[in-house]
Amino acid sequence: MDKEHLIDLISNSLLYESKDSNSKNNLSEFKDYLMRLNLEQLRTMSKEFIL
């Protein structure tokens, strides 16, 4: 998987789990954080959301 796909997977997972509006506002900040991670870090993080 490429970096953008992993970021979408993780952020959509978080959005699904937390449905309040405040979380949606923080989602863009979290996506910015994810963009700073390298691909291996994202892969590790995504495994937590897939399981």
pLDDT at 38: 94
Helix (H/G/I), strand (E/B), else coil: 50: helix
pLDDT for the residue 37: 94
Token pair of 33 as six digits: 């954080």
Please say whether the beta carbons of 11 and 34 come within 8 A.
Answer: yes
- pLDDT tens digits along 1-51: 789 998 888 887 776 666 665 666 678 888 899 999 999 999 998 887 665
Query: For residues 11 and 30, what is the distance between their CA atoms, to the nearest angstrom?
Result: 8
Q: What pLDDT was estimated at residue 17? A: 60
